[in-house]
Amino acid sequence: MKQLFKSKYPIVCSPMNGVSDSKLAIACAQAGIVPSLFLHPFTNLNDFSKSVTEVLAHCSNIHVSSSLKDITTNAELIKKLGITHIEILEFENNDLSLDNKTIINDLRSSGIKVILKILLTHVIDQFIDIIDAVTIKGSKGAGRSAKDIKLEDAILDIKSKYPSLKIIASGGVKNKSDIDSLLALGACAVSIGTLFAMSKESPIPDAVKDKLLQSTSDDIRRLKMGARQRAIVFDEQSNDDFNNTQGLYSGLQTGLTGHIFIGNAIDSVTGMLSVQEIVDHLVS
């Protein structure tokens, strides 16, 4: 079976709202893993295009994540830029109209791999005709997650029902042992966020990273509002949007107000390392 990504290691840097930028993506590409960008936060498509071009100067593939609406609206730009993998966020109230299916399959016909990010396996049926892979997120990850899902069981469930569908395992992945176990179960790659969010190349200010270093998974709680993501919460905002975006940006900037989406892998972070050093630890 052909590999989903052309990278030295089967590791994807999770696309992270407010964190995934070209500097972090380039560092990931240079370290031999799959770089990612998150389309939605780019209010200026010229800035997005520039970031994609900068990253692709260092690697042969890039993983871009966003809602179905953003992806279908910008499908021609996605093809023009040479983006190789797009990830659809299943939990963004997708409208699977015939027109949207046609657009997505046109992207696939152009050679772009389409990945569906899911929290529960039963939703795959409605997307199976327009996807090449799924990212299944376990309960130990940052941000949105199903409370009781066990990542290992979900992988086995997907393999039994959709044998040819490629699987990216995400949520709480922290070391080589986790990676080896998930690949042995049938995942073709793992997606890691928290470790790279805490890297030297991450745009999160060092003062905020220092504060996160004092936290453990015991400090993670679910937000009370909206999507109820898993986060380190400084001061929960009551008037945020459903995705708790304003609070997220406030937390990332200050470490005093709002919140930061963090997964259980924070327990394994003892200091700020470069992306290369993190990858070296993950594969050695």
Q: CA end-to-end span of the chain, whole Å?
A: 25
Phi/psi of residue 185, nearest 5 degrees? -75, -20
Work out the average pLDDT over 9-24: 97
Rounded CA-CA distance 185/161 in Å is: 14
Q: What's the pLDDT at 141?
A: 95
Note the pLDDT tens digit of each residue in 208-259.
999 999 999 999 999 999 999 999 999 988 889 999 999 999 999 999 999 9
Full-model pTM: 0.95
DSSP state letter for 239: T
Q: Does domain 11-199+272-283 have CATH number 3.20.20.70?
A: yes
Residue 255: the pLDDT is 95
CA angle 149, 282, 203 (to 5 degrees): 85
Q: Cα separation of 182 and 141, whole Å? A: 15
pLDDT band at 94 (very low <50, low <70, confident <90, very high): low
* Average pLDDT of the residues in 130-152: 93
Cβ proximity of 261 and 230 under 8 Å: yes
Alpha-carbon gap, residue 261 to 15, rounded angstroms: 12
Mean pLDDT of the chain: 94
| For residue 1, pLDDT beyond 50 | no
- pLDDT category at 260 given cuts 50, 70, 90 is very high
* pLDDT tens per residue, range 34-90: 999 999 888 899 999 999 999 999 999 999 999 999 999 999 999 999 999 999 997
Give the per-residue pLDDT at 214. 95
What angle is formed at CA 42 by the lines to CA 36 and CA 45, rounded to 5 degrees? 105
- SS3 call for 3: coil
Q: What are the residue ranges of CATH 3.20.20.70 in the chain?
A: 11-199+272-283
Q: What is the structure's pLDDT at 174?
A: 96
pLDDT of res. 139: 94
Q: Output the pLDDT for position 92.
A: 55
Let me know: does 134 contact 157? Beta carbons within 8 Å.
no
Task: Tell me 148's DSSP state.
Answer: T
